[in-house]
Every structure is written in C-alpha cells, then in structure tokens.
Chains A and B, each alone.
Chain A
C-alpha cells in the first residue's frame, strides 16, 4: 500500500500524542478512582455539594439560554454602528480570567458597589453577592455571551430566502416567530443549554470566591477543601470520582444533544429581511443596551478602581506576573504542539480514537487531574517542585478541545487542497512543515495558541491545590482578595486582564500576519 506506507509517519506522531494523552488522563482518573475506594467515605456535606453542583448548573444554563434569546434576536435582525464590535465583545468573556470578572462583579454588586448603594438609598434590602445567588450571577455573566453567540449562529443559519418568502407571504413578526424562529430555537436551544451546563458543572474559581459554605459548594470546591484543609486524599479522590461521573453523564447527554461549535463562521453576515418596526425596535434596543451594559460595567468598574494603583503594586505581584507569563507561554506551546500533531493525524482520517483522545479533557476536570497527579507524583517530588509543572501541563491539556476545534477543519481543508501536490513534490518532515503546514495553518494556530495562552494565564484552578510560595498572578490576586486588600486586588485584576488579552492578541495577530 503505497499511500498507506507514506501516511505512516504523521499518523504515528498523532497516535503517540493521543496515546500519551489517553494514558495521562485515563491513568490519572484510574488512580483517583482506585484511591477513592468507593463512595462510602462521603458524608452528607459532600452530597449537598453534588446536589448544589447539578442544581446551579441547571439553573445557570437555563437562565443564560433564556436571557440570550432576545439579545440574539436583536443582533440578528438589527444593523447598527458598533454591532460587529459588540459581537466581538461577546467572545471576550471566554478569555477573560474568571477571577477578574469576579472582581468586576464585586465592584458592581458587592457591599460597596453601585447596586447596593442604590438599594440603600431607596431603603430596600441589600443584595449579597456571596452565596448561591452570586455563583449563578457570575455563571450567567460568563455564559450569556456564549449563549448569545451560539443562538445568533442559529438565527443566521436560517436562509435569507426563507425570510424573503415569509415577507412575500405577508407574515407579521408573530408568524415569522412561529414558522421560522421557534423551529430554529427548538433545534438550537438544547445544545446551547448543554454547552453552558458543562461549563458550570466544573466551575471552581467562581465557587471558591463567591460560594462556599453548606449552600454554595460545588464538587470541585469540595475537592479543593478536602485536599487543602483536611488533607483527606481519600475523600478528595472520592469526590473526584463523583465529578468524573457527573462529566461522563453530561457527555452521555451530548450523544443526544449536539453541542454547537462556539467559534463557527458567519457571525457577521447574510442580510436579514426587513426587521419589524414599532415597539419591537425599542425592545431590541433595550436588549442590546442591557447586554452591553452588563458586559462592560463590571470590567469598567474594576478598571477604574485598579488602574491608578497599578504603578504602586508590590514587587511580588510583578514577580507573579512574570512567572505566569512564562507558564502561559510554555503551556500554549505545549498545547499547540499537541493540537497540531493530533489535527494532522485526524485530517488523514481512519483514526477515530485519536480524535476521541483529543476530546478526553472534557471529561476530566482540572482539579480531579490535579488530585490524581499529586497522588501519583508525591512519592518522587515535593509539593513545591510539582506545583508549577503540573499546572502548566494541565492548562495545556485543558486547552486542547478548543484548539482542536479550530485546527481540525483547517487541517482537513489543507490536506484536501494541497496534500497530493505536496506528496507528489516529495515534501516531507521539516520542509513540509515549513513551506506548507505552518504557513497554511498560521491563522488557526495563532488563534488556538492565543486561546491556550489566555486560558493558562487567567487560570485559577489546579494551582490552588498546592501550598506554594511561588504563586501565579491569579493566585496572587486571590490572596490579595482574601486579605481584603481590595485596592491592590483591583490593580492586580487590571494587570491580569491586560496581560491575558495581550497574549491572545499577540498569538492571534501573529497568525494573521504570518
């Protein structure tokens, strides 16, 4: 088999990465499961965490999806200056560090925030951002934009001819909704709900900062508490086993409900037929204005507080920033290397298990992986020695599904368009990489690298498991918050946000210019 022989090398690379990945993730999960020794060690407190995890994820997802409908409809049928910028802005929360958004929400909804100031003035009871309501608020803040983008894609997938036909038949807005929009929403909403549900199921940083206590502890947070406060590895592992079960069950749901891709094409066009006039204009304007406000206000609030103090941040914050940048870059390069190898092998087809291995990180939550790796490595390394490498590795792994989603279609197109030409010219190995693969895949590679770098930069997850004297920037920020140095924490948040966006911009821009 000539073609078979020739195909061997790239597929072997992909198979090696996939096998390593599967061994690492499944091996770690197996260690967790074995160490857990069943679920008998879990008390009522732990089961409350399980219940809360499911409950808050169901509610957060439902709220995000429901609130997203009017916003997506407004964006789909209205054209206004700044619309493209707003659609881009809706993508920003994905790379916004969770801890920064939380600082922003505290600045607006916290005890001294504008909302509670207004409530006090009106003589109404205060709103507390700490507790289950804060957790859900933060989840909606993060996932509403995602839901809007997904639903907007659904709206724009309705062919313009349908709207023209509806118009020619004299449909009013109600008829359009009934015959065109509701059928689309019925098809799209379950997937949107599930996408948000999955994100909220493994929520850690939000629960860590805004939740806690018996009524607002997620399983991930309970793992952290069992690990750090009780140093009860058996219970941490048992909780990890529960978390794996939750993720697997959610993925089983995904067998029936297709999750739409978050970064699909076509967010910016296909002209909509004549949009309805009258009171619906005001309603759409309101939906768009409220969304913009909800997105920007927290970020602006924390920026106003933080910006003036950046220059006077203590040196250990700058050290942490530098440490985080290096870690994010290493993590992004690792993720890119794995993504590219996997995507090239997947593009050659015939290896479904390689693709499955690339998607494994979805069922493994960072804290579960962290617990497992700690159990495996503790015989050889001190906590301090493993903290940063384990964090870098897990962040790289967690970025894989997103990177692959960007790279696989591009790699398939590349192979279909230029695979034969490159084969016939005997382009292989480094030459092929340099003159074909890298230049043609520069854009998705830059995008994937930017995502990986920004996610790693802002991550406040696994690192919290390790009592390390080498904090990352998000961990440093969390420590400042915990010691009530809110002014410094705000400045630190601005710095972290700026670096995360800058990292994403550099990679993405680099890919576009290449």
Chain B
C-alpha cells in the first residue's frame, strides 16, 4: 500500500493536501485541472519534492527522506526520459546499474527487454535516430527491467498521436501486469483514465481525493471535475 499521510506542500501561493492510500498493484489515474498539482503529487512520491508536513509510506515503510534513486519507484517524465548521448542499450542498462558495469546475465536481460518491447536490432542506436514511439519503448523497456514496485507516469506519451499512444498504454499495461507494479498515471484525457485505470485520484482545489472507481467518477463528476471536463 502506498500511503500519503497528512501531506501538505506549499510553493508560493500554491498548496496541495493529500491524505490517502493506494492499494498495492492498483492502477490509478490522476486527473485535475492544469496546475492543480498532479505533477506535484508524483514528485512527492518520486522524491523530487519534500513535503512541508506529513509522511509518505510504501508497505508501511517511511520513504519520505529517501533520495529519488533509492525509492522503490520508476518515473516516466513528460520528456527527457532518455540520455541523448547514450545508446539504447546503455539507456536501458542504466536501470540495472548506474555505473553500467553489467555482467553477462545482466546484458542478456537487457537484450531480452529490448526484444520484448519490439526494438530488436536497434540496441546500438542513439535516441536521435529513433521515432517518438521507439523512444517511448526504450523508456518502457527500462521500466520493465528495473521492475520497481511503484510506477509513476507524468504524461510521458502526451506528444504521441492517438494510435501510438494507445499502443504504448497497452504495452504499459502488460509491463505493469508482468511486474505487479502499482501505477500512478497523470493524464488530462478521461479516455486514458477509463482505458487504463480502474481507479482515479481527483485533485480539486488543492486537495488530492482518495482513489475512487474511474467509471462512476467520470459518469457523475463532482462540480470541480465537471467544470474541467466541460
């Protein structure tokens, strides 16, 4: 279980409260108006932002003070998920060892995930020589390889076209199932939420609500969400 215990964070005139829990293995969409704090919620879990008050726990363990790289978390950002000067294999291999000193078994594992996401033969390419969809696949391959129990997605596929995006969401769903990860996915598209996430966290007026079933929430939205959905 991923718990936000009485979290409060203030930056300038922006404040976010969160006091909620997400069940392990759950897939949760995070929706809300722009600048409502969706990315802030993810940054708190990822370790890029320290709360002013409150604790964050994973399976009962307090992770509030852990540096980002030591958290049980994989993060897919909106962009810059790959290092442009490293090859596909290196970008993925970093997920196993930040110093890239891979042994034979680890190299085999890297080759496996490259194949699994459909990038066979492209392992020596650099990101600039890949399409947008292929770049997303590299980032997803690294997520698969790291197999961290919590996966945070900050609209990483926003720049892709609709067909490519749903392809990536399918791949993502497969990876999440394979690794049993708990997924928090920021999105501004209700269809993504319906397609991918049985549960949804709504952020409204500075407060992150506990997860609710996505379908009913979108069918009968509370006033703040209704205004946003239009």
Q: Which residues of B contact A426 (CB under 8 A)?
A: 67-70, 98
In this assembly, does B100 line the interface, its C-beta being within 8 Å of a C-beta of chain A?
yes
Complex CA gap A431/B83 in Å reads 14
Provide the A426-451 mask, 1 if CB < 8 A to any CB of B, else 0.
11101110111001100000000000
Q: Which residues of B contact A417 (CB under 8 A)?
A: 80
Could you tell me the distance in whole angstroms from the C-beta of B46 to the nearest C-beta in chain A? 6
In this assembly, does A232 line the interface, its C-beta being within 8 Å of a C-beta of chain B?
no
**B80 contacts which of A1, A418, A427, A428 (Cβ < 8 Å)?**
A418
In this assembly, does B157 line the interface, its C-beta being within 8 Å of a C-beta of chain A?
no
Q: Which residues of B contact A439 (CB under 8 A)?
A: 85-86
Provide the B44-67 mask, 1 if CB < 8 A to any CB of A, else 0.
001111100000000000001111
A-B contact number at CB 8 A: 77
Contacting pair A425 B69 (CB below 8 A): yes
Chain A minimum-CB-distance residue to B96 = A425
In this assembly, does A175 line the interface, its C-beta being within 8 Å of a C-beta of chain B?
no
In this assembly, does A2 line the interface, its C-beta being within 8 Å of a C-beta of chain B?
yes
In this assembly, does A3 line the interface, its C-beta being within 8 Å of a C-beta of chain B?
yes
Provide the B67-90 mask, 1 if CB < 8 A to any CB of A, else 0.
111100111010011010110001
Contacting pair A4 B98 (CB below 8 A): no
**A427 contacts which of B50, B66, B69, B70 (Cβ < 8 Å)?**
B69
In this assembly, does B99 line the interface, its C-beta being within 8 Å of a C-beta of chain A?
yes
In this assembly, does A350 line the interface, its C-beta being within 8 Å of a C-beta of chain B?
no
In this assembly, does A420 line the interface, its C-beta being within 8 Å of a C-beta of chain B?
yes
Residue of A418, A421, A439 ringed by the most chain B CB atoms within 10 A: A421
Complex CA gap A189/B74 in Å reads 52
In this assembly, does A5 line the interface, its C-beta being within 8 Å of a C-beta of chain B?
yes
Majority secondary structure, A binding face = helix
In this assembly, does B127 line the interface, its C-beta being within 8 Å of a C-beta of chain A?
no
Q: Which residues of A contact B32 (CB under 8 A)?
A: none
Contacting pair A425 B95 (CB below 8 A): yes
Q: Which residues of A contact B86 (CB under 8 A)?
A: 435, 439
Contacting pair B98 A425 (CB below 8 A): yes
Within 8 A of A (CB), among B1-60: 46-50
Complex CA gap A2/B94 in Å reads 22
Complex CA gap A436/B84 in Å reads 10
A420-B68 CB under 8 A given contacts A4-B50, A430-B99, A431-B100: yes
Chain B minimum-CB-distance residue to A442 = B85
Q: Which residues of B contact A418 (CB under 8 A)?
A: 80, 83
In this assembly, does A423 line the interface, its C-beta being within 8 Å of a C-beta of chain B?
yes
Q: Which residues of A contact B49 (CB under 8 A)?
A: 3
Q: Which residues of A contact B90 (CB under 8 A)?
A: 435
Q: Which residues of A contact B83 (CB under 8 A)?
A: 418, 421, 435-436, 440
Within 8 A of B (CB), among A405-431: 417-418, 420-421, 423-428, 430-431
Total interface residues in chain B, CB < 8 Å: 27
Could you tell me the distance in whole angstroms from the C-beta of B173 to the nearest C-beta in chain A? 22
Contacting pair A423 B66 (CB below 8 A): no
Chain A minimum-CB-distance residue to B139 = A421
Q: Which residues of A contact B74 (CB under 8 A)?
A: 424
Total interface residues in chain A, CB < 8 Å: 24
Q: Which residues of B contact A425 (CB under 8 A)?
A: 69, 94-95, 98
A420-B69 CB under 8 A given contacts A4-B50, A425-B98, A435-B94: no
In this assembly, does A79 line the interface, its C-beta being within 8 Å of a C-beta of chain B?
no
A424-B85 CB under 8 A given contacts A5-B67, A6-B67, A6-B68: no
Within 8 A of B (CB), among A338-396: none
Complex CA gap A418/B82 in Å reads 8
Complex CA gap A4/B64 in Å reads 12
Contacting pair B65 A2 (CB below 8 A): yes
Contacting pair A2 B68 (CB below 8 A): yes
Q: Which residues of B contact A2 (CB under 8 A)?
A: 47, 50, 64-68
Could you tell me the distance in whole angstroms from the C-beta of B131 to the nearest C-beta in chain A? 20
Q: Which residues of B contact A424 (CB under 8 A)?
A: 46-47, 68-69, 73-75
Complex CA gap A425/B146 in Å reads 9
Complex CA gap A420/B67 in Å reads 11
**A421 contacts which of B64, B65, B66, B81 (Cβ < 8 Å)?**
B81
Q: Which residues of A contact B50 (CB under 8 A)?
A: 1-4
Complex CA gap A417/B127 in Å reads 15
Provide the B164-195 mask, 1 if CB < 8 A to any CB of A, else 0.
00000000000000000000000000000000
Q: Which residues of B contact A431 (CB under 8 A)?
A: 98-100
Q: Which residues of A contact B68 (CB under 8 A)?
A: 2, 6, 420, 423-424, 426
Complex CA gap A431/B101 in Å reads 10
Complex CA gap A3/B99 in Å reads 22
Could you tell me the distance in whole angstroms from the C-beta of B34 to the nearest C-beta in chain A? 20
A423-B98 CB under 8 A given contacts A2-B64, A435-B86, A436-B83: no
Within 8 A of B (CB), among A430-478: 430-432, 434-436, 439-440
Contacting pair A435 B69 (CB below 8 A): no
Complex CA gap A423/B66 in Å reads 11
Chain B minimum-CB-distance residue to A439 = B85
Q: Which residues of B contact A435 (CB under 8 A)?
A: 83, 86, 90, 94, 98-100
Contacting pair B47 A428 (CB below 8 A): no
Complex CA gap A434/B73 in Å reads 24
Q: Which residues of A contact B48 (CB under 8 A)?
A: 3, 420, 423
Chain A minimum-CB-distance residue to B154 = A420
Contacting pair B47 A427 (CB below 8 A): no
Q: Which residues of A contact B85 (CB under 8 A)?
A: 439-440
Q: Which residues of A contact B70 (CB under 8 A)?
A: 426
Complex CA gap A430/B74 in Å reads 22
Q: Which residues of B contact A4 (CB under 8 A)?
A: 50
Could you tell me the distance in whole angstroms from the C-beta of A240 to the nearest C-beta in chain B? 46
Complex CA gap A427/B90 in Å reads 13
Could you tell me the distance in whole angstroms from the C-beta of B12 to the nearest C-beta in chain A? 16
Inter-chain pairs besides A4-B50, A421-B80, A423-B68, 5 sampled, C-beta below 8 Å = A2-B64, A5-B67, A421-B81, A425-B98, A426-B68
27 contacts between A and B (CB under 8 A): A1-B65, A2-B47, A2-B50, A2-B64, A2-B66, A3-B48, A3-B50, A6-B47, A6-B67, A418-B83, A420-B75, A420-B80, A421-B80, A421-B83, A423-B67, A424-B69, A424-B74, A425-B69, A425-B94, A426-B69, A426-B70, A428-B69, A430-B99, A434-B99, A435-B94, A435-B100, A439-B86
9 closest Cβ pairs, A-B complex: A426-B69, A6-B67, A431-B99, A423-B68, A427-B98, A431-B98, A439-B85, A1-B50, A424-B75
